[in-house]
Each structure stands twice: as structure tokens, then as C-alpha cells.
Amino acid sequence: MKKIYLDNAATTPMAKEVIDVMQESMLENFGNPSSTHQFGRKAKNLVETARNNIANLLNSSASEIIFTAGGTEADNLILHNAVNNLEVKRIITSKIEHHAVLHTVAFLQNTCNIELVFVNVLPSGDISLKHLEDLLIKTDKKTLVSLMHINNEIGNILPLKQVCDLCQKYQALFHSDTVQTIGHYSIDLEETPIDFITASAHKFHGPKGVGFAYFKNGFGIQPMLHGGDQEKGARSSTENVHGILGMEKAFLIASETLESDMRNMNTLKVFFMKELKKINSNILFNGQSSNIELSSCTILNVLLPTKNELLLFNLDLYGIAVSGGSACQSGSSKGSHVLAEIANNDIEGYSSVRFSFSRFTKKEDLMHTIQQLKKLL
């Protein structure tokens, strides 16, 4: 049976070059970076070289990069520091953020008595910038805005520069979960002065269990993990050397091919949308995911005019891996909080499927998927 992977927004297959780098590191570079002997010094040098290379790709300083176990930890580290270290008393976010943000700000609200405010989400899935400005005007409290750059379910792209400008105008800090961005879209932190961003290597063909948080220079960092003072005291725990080197390699490769990969994925996305419409003209697309200018090249969230409760299961039987999620879809006890927020009640009960692409996705994969969908629909 042909196997097709179209769930790259969840995780991506590791690139062979990344595996090679990590395998070599496991064999040759086993020293602890905190050790002072030559094995430790070698490991430390490789970690710091990786930090410098990653910083250069973001047009930032190496001192601003903190290695973590992934995007969730990076989001937590940033949000906890904003409240407990930077004296933030008010957080503005949206109800369509990743749970790494939503669950963390809810915890901080309950434990630290911060004010938590939600900016309006438009029916398109876009953030209302007018409402955001209204919220920024209406307070004297030190405020953090936390809004993801690319939504992991519907692919909507936040206008980062406009949000940066609003935050600077009203002296608010700005954190953006960029887990779906890094490795797929370019971010220049000099041109777009975000205060905090996050990354997770497994979203751009790197290994799982490693990522980073970016803290703009000038912000002190209090660790959430104590016991070793690694990462300049920001995160205790022996560095995941092999993972960090794998992430560095994955990011370097992604940056070299970024523009061509983006064009290719958008071409595939447009082709797939046209073929889906041929199956049934009533097929719709959630959020802005059908707009290649306003959504990520990696994500297409499709609303299928069917109440086939076994659709994802049957696709899996055909060897096709995708993700589902809607406010009422069977197979998910809670459904998608993102789609619930922008739901159209006239089409409630229809099946939503997220197809997500990578640079390894082929046209023939999509053609085969279309053939199987024709059978199921």
C-alpha cells in the first residue's frame, strides 16, 4: 500500500542530512558541554557555533538564543518570565492560540493574578487589529501581547510588522509563537523587532525534543528548571548536543531552499484546491487557508460537505496521514478550539481535514489522495 504523509504541521520527517549530522555527533561528540576537559570543550564549542549560526539566520545575537526541549517549553519560559521577571500585569492573546500559550496564560492568571484579555477573532480567522489597538489603549498596566505568527490549524498569517508597530506605540511587549514559521518563512529580527519568538526543530525536518526561545537583549531570564545553570543560567539541564546540531543543520538547509520550497508548496496547494473542487464544488476552506498570500504554504484546512465520521480513519486505511478537527467532529472529544471560534453554524457537522505539506510532498502524492477522496466522498 502506498503511504502518503500530509500531516507536516504536526511534525515533519527528518532530513537525511540531519540524521547524518546527529549520527556523527553521537559517535564522535559524546562529551558533556559543562565539562572542562577536551571532550566537554569540543561539545561546548559545537553548541555555541550552532547558537551563533541560528542567530545569524534570524539577524539576531547569539546571546538572545536559549535552547529548549521544543516550542512548548519555549512558550512557557517566555510567558513565565514576562510575568515573574518583567512585571507584566496584563496579557492580551486570542482564543485561537496554541494550547502551549492558552493553557500557560490561564495558569498565570490563576496563580499570579494577572489580567487576561482576549482580542477579537474575525470570521476569517484573522486577528482584529482595530480591537487589539483598542485593548492596548485602555490600560496603564504593563502589557504583553502574545499572538502566533502562523496558526497551526488554519494557516492564517499574522501581520507581524503591524502588531510590532502597535506594541511599540503603546509600550507593550510582544511575544509570537513562530513554531509554524521558522524554517518556512524568513524572519529578520532587526527589521521586525519582536521581543520573543519560539521554534521547534521537528517542524522543519529536524529532530523532536529540541527548539529555542529568543529573548531580545536587555531582558533578564529567570529559569523554570533549576539545578545546573546551563544556558547562561536560563535553563538548567545538560544540553541536548546531538539535537541542537540536528536543529542547526535543519535550519541551515531550510534557509538555503526557503524561497523555492515556498513556491513549490504554494503550487502544490493551488493544484490540490482545484482538484478538490472538481470532486465537489461545495468544498470550502477554513480560515484564510485557501489564500496563498494570507496563509501558510504548508497548511490547507478543508471543510468537506459530508458527515462521514470515519473519514480520517478511512484515509488512514488507504495509507494517507492527515489531521482532522472541527467543533463537532467525531473522533475528537473536544474538537478544534480554533474552528469552534470561527465556526459557521450553517455548516456545523461537516468534516474538517487539515492537509499540511513539506518540501518532500510530491504532486503524485496529492493526485493519489484525490483519487482516494473521490471514493470516500
State yes or no: pLDDT of 27 exceeds 90: yes
Strand partners of residue 116? 91
Q: Which of 153-157, 235-239, 310-314 has the lowest mean pLDDT?
A: 310-314
Q: Is the pLDDT of residue 326 over 60?
A: no
Residue 56 has pLDDT above 90, yes or no: yes
pLDDT at residue number 348: 65
Kindly report the three-state secondary structure assignment for every residue of 192-225. Answer: CCCCEEEEEHHHHCCCCCCEEEEECCCCCCCCCC
Q: 146-176 pLDDT, tens per residue?
A: 999 999 999 999 999 999 999 999 999 999 9
Q: From the candidates 112, 164, 297, 328, which is the catalytic residue? A: 328
**pLDDT over 90, % of the chain:** 88
328: pLDDT confidence band, cut at 50, 70 and 90? very low
The predicted pLDDT at position 57 comes to 98
pLDDT at 1: 83
| Rounded mean pLDDT, 185-200 | 96
In degrees, to the nearest 5, what angle opens at C-alpha 82 toward C-alphas 81 and 86?
A: 95
**Residue 61, pLDDT score:** 97
For the cut 60, the answer to whether the pLDDT of residue 223 exceeds it is yes
Query: Which pLDDT band, with edges at 50, 70 and 90, does 346 fall under?
Result: low
Let me know if 235 is exposed, middle or buried by CB neighbors in 10 A (0-12, 13-18, 19+): buried
pLDDT average, residue stretch 318-334? 66
Question: What pLDDT does 330 receive?
Answer: 37
Which residues neighbour 53 within 8 Å (Cβ) at sequence distance 6 or greater? 248, 251, 252
pTM of the model: 0.94
Confidence of residue 188 (pLDDT cuts 50, 70, 90): very high
Query: Does residue 329 carry a pLDDT above 60?
Result: no
pLDDT surpassing 50 at residue 332: no
Nearest Cα residue to 176 out of 204, 152, 154: 152
> Chain-wide mean pLDDT for the chain?
94
Q: Which residues contact 116 (CB under 8 A, 6 or more apart)?
A: 90, 91, 93, 105, 106, 108, 109
- Place 107 in a pLDDT band, splitting at 50, 70 and 90: very high
pLDDT at 53 over 80: yes
Task: Report the sign of the C-alpha dihedral through residues 306, 307, 310, 312, in that order.
Answer: positive
Q: Residue 202 corresponds to which amino acid? A: H
Give me the DSSP letters along 120-172. Answer: -B-TTS-B-HHHHHHHHHT--S-EEEE--SB-TTT-BBP-HHHHHHHHHHTT-
Mean pLDDT along residues 296-302:
97
Annotated catalytic residue 328 = yes
**Cα-based angle 245, 11, 204 (whole degrees, multiple of 5):** 45
Comparing 92-96, 185-189, 271-275, 308-312, the range with the smallest average pLDDT is 308-312
H or E stretch covering 270: helix 258-279
Residue with cell 545546573: 228
Confidence of residue 310 (pLDDT cuts 50, 70, 90): confident
Q: Is residue 327 pLDDT above 50, yes or no?
A: no
CA separation for the pair 237, 225 (Å, rounded) = 7
- Candidates 246, 248, 243; CA nearest to 20 is 246
166-182 burial, b if ≥16 CB within 10 A, otherwise e?
bbeebebbbbbbbbbbb
Under the banding of pLDDT at 50, 70 and 90, the label for residue 283 is very high
Cα–Cα distance measured from residue 58 to residue 212, given in angstroms and rounded to the nearest whole number? 12
Which CATH fold would you assign to the domain 16-256? Aspartate Aminotransferase; domain 2 (3.40.640)
Where are the chain's structural domains?
4-12+258-376, 16-256
| Distance from C-alpha of 119 to C-alpha of 102, rounded to nearest angstrom | 13
Mean pLDDT value across residues 330-336: 58
pLDDT confidence of residue 334? 66
What homologous superfamily does CATH list for 4-12+258-376? Aspartate Aminotransferase, domain 1 (3.90.1150.10)
Beta bridge partners of 214: 65, 197
Please state the rounded mean pLDDT for residues 124-145. Answer: 96
For range 358-365, the mean pLDDT: 97
Determine the Cα angle at 178 with ends 172 and 181, to 5°. 140
